[in-house]
Structure 1
Amino acid sequence: MIVVAKSFAILLVLLLTGGCSALWPDDRETEERLSVFPSEDLPLESEVSLRWNDYQVPYIEAENDHDLAFTLGLVHAHLRGAQLTLLRHVSSGRLAEIAGPPATDIDHALRILDFGHAVEEIEANMPDETRRWVQAFVDGLNHYQQQRQKDPPEYGLAGLQSEPWTIHDILRIGRLAGTDVNWLVYFSLLEERGDPEFQRLWQRALEAGQNGTVSFRGSEQQQALSDFLAGHSRSGSNTVVVSPERSASGGALIASDPHLGLNLPNLWILAGLKSPTHQSVGFMVPGLPFVAVGRNPDLAWGGTHMRAASSDLYDVSDLPEDEIQVSETDISVRFWFDETRQVRRTPYGPIITDADIVPNGADETLALRWVGHEPSDEITALLRANRASTPEEFRNALESFALSPQNMLIADRQGNIGHIMATFQPIREEFPPDDLVLDPADPENRWQGFHRTSDLPYILNPEQGFLASANNRPTDAGPGMGYFYSPDERVRRLEDFVADRRNITLDDLAELQRDTRSFGAERLSAVLLQAIREAELHADHADFLAPLEDWNGDYAADARAPVVFETLLYHLWPRTQGVESSSELASAVNEWNYILSYLEGELAQMTPESRRSALSESLEAARKDAEDYPAWGDMHRLSAAHSLANLPVIGSFFEYGNYPVGGSRETVMKTAHGLVNERHAARYGSQARHLSDLSDPDANYFVLFGGQDGWLGSANFMDQVPLWRQGEYIQMPLTQERIVEEFPRLMKLRGGSG
């Protein structure tokens, strides 16, 4: 009760100390928002043309790279000022400065994970060209922030303050975006580590290829940490490339849709960049000065998370004290007393079990070694890749790229298509290991250096004329890469779709990006129907089960079959595990990979009597649940909501729309959810889309779930939601004539001399 009272008291103070502009923001049209953008007395070397379209998407045309990078910094600060500040707080472990006492343990965990550990060495090793580019970008962020007449509405509510930006801040945000998604699986498994059946769980998780975006169950703080790590990391995505012989236009095609948290503002910015040495269009992470998914005049690219094992856990309980570095970190806490916490570091990484919210079922002292604590240079890699004109140049550019591990699929205007693996992969003697936690005294458990991009498999122009990637297990060629992958459902659907077609168009690929069919659900549905028939229960429930007859696994929003399947699965799965509710099971056991791998076998191993009882009870409960939801979209929803919607009491102020949506855990149009039997919101999935036809420099199309402008009340805060829902896109051309046509609002940015 004390904690609840404290939370309500804090919220009341927030309302009384500047939060009203966030709760009731003023409406701002595009022209009003653009009117505050600085255009005079800027530290530019030459005049810059900055064009905008109706969605407040910018196209920067500069005469040199300094001015291009500086203006890009202005643009990021203008569009996503509050979001950038939040990203800095997350990556630095400073959330308690915003949320007060409930975030103190989260900050401690983030400080131990230490996203900034390698930034000094990374900056010191940067090529001069990269450092000049990043410094100009940082200067742009700072200039906009300094001249801004009014802070974003979230500042008063969240207690945010403007601080000067540094290159270190940018590098920390990059490390946050490169979070190892395997941590979430590790944490969920560590909850069960003290259980006598843990080793069986570990082996079964390896066999199932446990999904890398699992959330570990526990306190609100644990769930929040999970959401921050999964929602901000580049942890999902689909990409498919098509060769000219399969294309209607005679050019290579690419379709890419990143997967991240479904919050507003979106975790991408859409922009066009042009200078004498650099032209590209596409998606950028706020605060990172390169195009991560997009197109230049010669080549297009899209990445999917490789799910490579970039981290290992070590039991350092017996490590000598002189091998442990101990430091203290001061955590500022809003509306409360500041706290000092201890951070310990070993040669095998920081001791993560010192964080109270990291699960530790076996009460071990565990250190985490992570590739992200080693120096690498993603900014240089992506800047060079953005300028690449051939597959070989693109691959060579990625040699310094480590995080997050990416399957980069490319297509170029010469008709080449390719698949490049980009990461620093630890060289291990034994992989995968026999246990989740390693013994540091065993030499076989120590890293022996890294495989880099040039050491990893590379595919160029395969005979079948297409390539697809969807976080699936990669080729067996080369070194072992990871433990936990998505099932093959999405990649099979991508491959089957293009394999069955010739004369493929971008319209076809746009249709594919909205595809809601699950091969896994189709198969399991047939398994359940067969089991129900064998148990002689079908006749009593024929009306309820009718939608599953001949169901092909399509989770269309207006379909009835997904409601029947999901409510039945919700009740049946825990019964196959010998419990009444999924809440009694380990988080990893409730994930789709695990269910997909073991449900059929678990049913087969039950005695006929227990199987019939489980099926009968589940059917009765599912029938009752499903009565309230005629179609999947009545149960499965997409919420257009700001991240602040998670706040108690006032969260509803930040909910702007709630829509029926199709899709599921592993459909191409991914809208992820857990086991469900009632109305729920998708929490993660396909929140951005990209298409390009390499035969036409202007045939580049993008859309965000949400909008371009992060300013609350802006006309462009969520004006792309209708486009996203209807399968429409924004064109991002490369030729000057079309740039002028598509981006009619022209600003001239000038230096101090006029």
Structure 2
Amino acid sequence: MFRTIVRGIGILLLVALVVVAGAYFWLRAGGRPQRDGDAVLAGLGSAVTVRFDARGVPDVEADSEADAWRAVGWLHANDRLFQMEMSRRAASGRLSELFGARAVRFDQRMRRLRFRRLAEAAVASARPETRAALEAYAEGVNAWLAARGGDLPPELRLLRVRPEPWTSADTISLTVMMARNLSPIEAPPELERFELLRAFGPERARELDGAPDADLFPEIEELARTLAAQPDDVGARAESSGLGSNNWTVAPSRARDGDALVANDPHLGLGLPNVWYQISIRTPTYRAAGMTLPGSPPVILGRGPSVAWAMTNLYVDDVDVFFERPDAEGKRVARGDGWAPIESARETILVDDGESVEVEVKWTDRGTYLDADVESGLPARSLAWGALEPGDQFAAIVALAQASSVADVRAAIEPWVFPPQNLLVADRRGEILWTPIGRAPDRFGWDGRFPAPGWSPEVGWRGLLPAAANPELLDPEEGVIATANSFLPVPVPEWFGEDFDTSFRMDRIRESLAARDDWDVESFSTLQGDIVSEWARFLVARIGDGYEGDAARAATALAGWDGAMALSGPSALFALFERALQRATFEDEAEAAGIGRFGTRWRLLRL
């Protein structure tokens, strides 16, 4: 009997081993990217050559831009198909089809924000050459899909997904999703300030936000008085990560080899695979090397024959909240003495292993419309967002690579609307330039820091400011320009907002660059790894003295610290000190009002 049991267990283990081994080899055997040989890509005007360097970075050589875009589409599908599939599903609100009920709330948000509809409208309004390029790229992706059939990456096979043909709207939806990730569209600062208003009243709310002159309408004050602040509404939007991007450029006078240099370090979220896809593209009319976004063909960050460019996120206030007064039927909203319709459409979210969910997508003349939220107590509102305005980012980024000097940059970037970015450019002649890329709202009636009464004809948007309204900094005398998500100290002709990062990271970069005149690629790379926090040094210098016991020892340790945020040592002590300072400054008010923490470095600095 015992032998029979042992024999049975052995057989079961053997079967399990065979099944696991079979599954392993099944996953490993298919879906591998092609790295050599020939591939058939229907629609090519002539052969395209792709060479991979030692790090696997492809170099595409084609006789036309259309053929290059087809090849890039094929390469993206070859290397990043799962990433592309998840990205377009996220943007279109279709993750529930794969992941079931757990993704429904996310899909509902994406549907209500109309990202897919925005992408389709952008394709329809794009320039003919842009539409042709997007179609060529989609042809490349779909050629790979057709050739592979069921031989797909293991992630897609595990999820039992056969990707639908790629479309131009899929490409644009990915750029819209990137704009969403770089924008406060889902958590506008106006709503956080409104929560402070609900909790503390107008004067104290302005003071705690460090914005005593912010425009605030009596109707919004009255609305805040009638609504009790909710415990989680403020804390959820308080500063948490402290992450940020940086870029900089130096003039030839500060470079070892006498050429202008550019560096870029966009701190997007970590992922596997990486957000970016490095590539080099060469055609008779378009040459660029740098980073593309899988799902979109042009080089977004990189260099062309005559210019190199870099971007960091610029927190222009391109989102506004308009509280609304809907009628009893919820079909119209008040506008002055009359009404404006609430447009709507019903969409179906398919749910894996569950019942489909219907979602009603709504919008008004001011933007995306959201019904009153019983859970948070927020009233009905329309969200105006710069990304909803027409633009052609593809045309802008292609023209930027083709620019012959910084003098061509203004015209090249004119079609770019969103997302707003700090653009740095250097050319082969040695000129360096900073300018915002993107457009700010042309507001009237208020400054946009608090929500506005949507029913009032005295406030709103006249559209977007022209690109020519953006400031610029060209060839500064010190030969250095740097950004780090903060606004540069240059005249701003119109209201851009105030929710930029503090200038400490930017100041650290500028001071470091201005201290040398022998910069090269290696020293740039070293500077990108710099861990000294000027913010920490700023706070530590203001600690003062007169402490006793542990507090005195902590103050002494911090006083002798250089501000390097290492994994051990005084940096950990500083983190505790900063947290305690935030708590002492803001959290007594938060606890008294029964709301979450709302302290940020920016608020602390302004106070």
User: TM above 0.5, one fold?
Assistant: yes
The residue identity in structure 1 corresponding to 2:184 is N
* CA distance 1:25–1:497, change in 2 (3 Å): farther
Q: Which of 440, 457, 461 matches 1:447?
A: 461
Pair 1:283-2:291 in alignment? yes
Q: Report the CA distance between 1:455 and its aligned residue.
A: 2.4
Q: Which residue matches 1:66?
A: 66
Task: Show CA shifts across 1:383-439 (max 9, x none).
Answer: 111211111222201111001011211001111101122212211124524x52111
Pair 1:166-2:167 in alignment? yes
Q: Report the CA distance between 1:202 and its aligned residue.
A: 5.3
- In percent, how many aligned pairs have the same letter? 26
Pair 1:86-2:94 in alignment? no
CA contact (8 A) 1:575 1:581 kept: no
Q: Which of 277, 280, 284 matches 1:272?
A: 280
Q: Which residue matches 1:325?
A: 343
1:465-480 matches, within 5 Å, as: 465-474=479-488, 475-480=490-495
Q: 2:521, 2:167 → 1: CA distance?
A: 41
Deviates more, 1:366-375 or 1:519-528: 519-528
Q: Which residue matches 1:177?
A: 178
CA contact (8 A) 1:50 1:58 kept: yes
1:737-752 matches, within 5 Å, as: none
Q: Which residue matches 2:364?
A: 346
What SS is found at the alignment partner of 1:44? coil
CA contact (8 A) 1:118 1:375 kept: no
1:247-646 matches, within 5 Å, as: 247-318=255-326, 319-320=333-334, 323-353=341-371, 361-430=376-445, 432-433=447-448, 436-474=450-488, 475-528=490-543, 530=544, 533-534=545-546, 536-537=547-548, 539-544=549-554, 546-557=556-567, 559-577=568-586, 579=588, 589-598=598-607
1:647-686 matches, within 5 Å, as: none
* CA distance 1:82–1:587, change in 2 (3 Å): farther
What stretches of structure 1 of length at least 5 have no aligned partner? 1-19, 210-215, 599-754
* CA distance 1:575–1:49, change in 2 (3 Å): same
Q: Which residue matches 1:639?
A: none
Task: Show CA shifts across 1:458-514 (max 9, x none).
Answer: 222122211111111242331111230100011101110111111222222111111
Q: 1:389, 1:354 → 2: CA distance?
A: 52
CA contact (8 A) 1:62 1:275 kept: yes
* CA distance 1:384–1:101, change in 2 (3 Å): same
What SS is found at the alignment partner of 2:151? coil
Q: 2:578, 2:32 → 1: CA distance?
A: 51
The residue identity in structure 1 corresponding to 2:389 is E
Q: 2:427, 2:247 → 1: CA distance?
A: 15
CA contact (8 A) 1:205 1:588 kept: no
Q: Report the CA distance between 1:165 and its aligned residue.
A: 1.1
* CA distance 1:491–1:155, change in 2 (3 Å): same
* CA distance 1:584–1:36, change in 2 (3 Å): farther
Deviates more, 1:198-207 or 1:169-178: 198-207
1:117-196 matches, within 5 Å, as: 117-148=117-148, 149-158=150-159, 160-179=161-180, 181-183=183-185, 184-186=187-189, 188-189=192-193, 194-196=198-200
The residue identity in structure 2 corresponding to 1:349 is G
Q: 1:256, 1:576 → 2: CA distance?
A: 35
The residue identity in structure 2 corresponding to 1:152 is P
* CA distance 1:426–1:26, change in 2 (3 Å): same
What SS is found at the alignment partner of 1:117? helix
Q: How many residues align?
A: 554
Q: 2:352, 2:210 → 1: CA distance?
A: 42
Q: Report the CA distance between 1:26 and its aligned residue.
A: 8.3
Q: Report the CA distance between 1:160 and its aligned residue.
A: 3.7
Q: Report the CA distance between 1:58 and its aligned residue.
A: 0.8
**CA-atom RMSD, angstroms?**
3.4
Q: 2:516, 2:285 → 1: CA distance?
A: 38
The residue identity in structure 2 corresponding to 1:574 is R
* CA distance 1:499–1:587, change in 2 (3 Å): farther
1:28-43 matches, within 5 Å, as: 33-35=33-35, 39-40=39-40, 42-43=42-43
CA contact (8 A) 1:385 1:394 kept: yes
Q: 2:211, 2:164 → 1: CA distance?
A: 48
Q: Report the CA distance between 1:279 and its aligned residue.
A: 0.9
The residue identity in structure 2 corresponding to 1:65 is E
Q: Bigger radius of gyration, 1 or 2?
A: 2
CA contact (8 A) 2:582 2:600 kept: no
Q: 1:369, 1:338 → 2: CA distance?
A: 30
Q: Which residue matches 2:218?
A: none
Q: 2:231, 2:431 → 1: CA distance?
A: 45
Task: Show CA shifts across 1:630-678 (max 9, x none).
Answer: xxxxxxxxxxxxxxxxxxxxxxxxxxxxxxxxxxxxxxxxxxxxxxxxx
Q: Report the CA distance between 1:143 and its aligned residue.
A: 1.1
Q: Report the CA distance between 1:240 and its aligned residue.
A: 0.8
* CA distance 1:541–1:84, change in 2 (3 Å): same
Task: Show CA shifts across 1:192-225 (max 9, x none).
Answer: 564244764456436499xxxxxx9969xx98xx
Q: Report the CA distance between 1:50 and its aligned residue.
A: 0.3
Q: Report the CA distance between 1:301 and its aligned residue.
A: 0.2
Q: 2:393, 2:66 → 1: CA distance?
A: 19
Q: Report the CA distance between 1:552 and its aligned residue.
A: 2.5
Question: Normalization by structure 1: what TM-score?
Answer: 0.67
Q: Which residue matches 2:329?
A: none
The residue identity in structure 1 corresponding to 2:209 is A
Q: 1:351, 1:70 → 2: CA distance?
A: 38
Q: 1:25, 1:518 → 2: CA distance?
A: 49
* CA distance 1:548–1:456, change in 2 (3 Å): same
Task: Show CA shifts across 1:589-644 (max 9, x none).
Answer: 2333234444xxxxxxxxxxxxxxxxxxxxxxxxxxxxxxxxxxxxxxxxxxxxxx
* CA distance 1:344–1:477, change in 2 (3 Å): closer
Q: Which residue matches 2:106?
A: 106
Q: 1:335, 1:200 → 2: CA distance?
A: 50
CA contact (8 A) 2:61 2:68 kept: yes
What stretches of structure 2 of length at least 5 have no aligned partner? 1-19, 214-229, 327-332
